[in-house]
Amino acid sequence: MIIKARSISKGTGSGRLLVSEAPISFLSGVDPASGIIIEEGHPLQGVCIKDTVLAFPFGKGSTVGSYIIYALRRNNVAPAALINAEAEVIIAVGAIMAGIPMIDNLEGGFSQLQTGMAATVDGDAGELRLEDPADS
Partner 1 sequence: MELDRSDEEVLAGEYGETRRICMEILVALGKVYGAERLIPVSSVQVAGASYKTIGDPGLEWLQNLDARAVVPAFLNPIGMPRDDWRKMKIDEGFAEKQQEILDAYRRLGISLSCTCTPYYHQLVHYGDHLAWSESSAVSYANSVIGARTNREGGPSALASALIGKTPEFGLHIVGNRIPDLVIEVDDPDATKQWGSAEYGALGYLAGKEAGNRIPCFRAIRPNRDRLKSLGAAMAASGAVALYHVEDITPEARVPFFKKSFTLDQKETVTIPVADVNALFTEIEVNAVAVGCPHLSEDELRTLAGLLSGKKVKKEFFVFASKEMIDEHHDLVGTIEKSGASVYPDTCMVVSPATDTLGSVMTNSGKAFTYLPTMCGVLPRLGTIEECVRVATE
Among 2, 43, 64, 114, binds partner 1 (CB under 8 A): 64
Per CB under 8 A, 56 contacts partner 1: no
Per CB under 8 A, 45 contacts partner 1: no
**Residue 20, CA distances (Å) to 45, 59, 97, 122, 125 in order:** 10, 11, 22, 20, 24
Per CB under 8 A, 89 contacts partner 1: yes
Of the residues 62, 66, 111, 136, which is catalytic?
A: 62
CB 65 to partner 1: min, Å: 10
Per CB under 8 A, 96 contacts partner 1: yes
Burial label, 56 (beta-carbon count in 10 A; 0-12, 13-18, 19+): buried
Quick check: is 34 catalytic?
Answer: no
Rounded to whole angstroms, how far apart are CA atoms 38 and 54? 15
**At 1, is the secondary structure helix, strand, or coil?**
coil
* Contact in structure between 2 and 37 (CB atoms under 8 Å): no
Per CB under 8 A, 10 contacts partner 1: yes
Chain residues 14-43 in contact with partner 1, contact rule CB under 8 A: 32
Catalytic positions, please? 62
